[in-house]
Amino acid sequence: MSLLAGEVLDEDIELSLSELCRACQLPAERIFELVEEGVVDPLGRDPRQWRFQAFSIRRVRCAHRLEQDLGVNAAGAALALDLLEELERLHVRLQRLES
């Protein structure tokens, strides 16, 4: 599977650990850390059989940027991502109510 930056992915696509690593250009050890902190939640119990939903790419990339640009640790990045997604949901809900 070849993923390009900015490519639109079908939300039904699932990626293996190695595919997620390639898509995000990060080593597996880094993904393990992000899983441990709750940035992404793999499907499956055994890391050799983990599957990640396509939106995991966006979360991993965003967490990595938060860490690199702002010095946020993985736990802080997980919290920031959750808050940003909640803001997005509230914004969509508000737009629906205003329509």
Q: What is the pLDDT of residues 39-58, one digit of tens each?
A: 999 999 898 899 999 999 99
User: CA distances (Å), 78 to each of 16, 32, 39, 61, 84, in order?
Assistant: 21, 13, 5, 12, 10
CA quadruple 59, 88, 37, 71: dihedral positive or negative? positive
The domains of the chain, with CATH numbers, are 14-98 (1.10.1660.10)
Please compute the mean of the pLDDT values over residues 30-40 and round it to a whole number.
96
Closest C-alpha to 39, from 24, 92, 8? 24
pTM: 0.81
SS3 74: helix
Q: What is the mean pLDDT of the chain?
A: 90
In this prediction, residue 3 carries a pLDDT of: 45
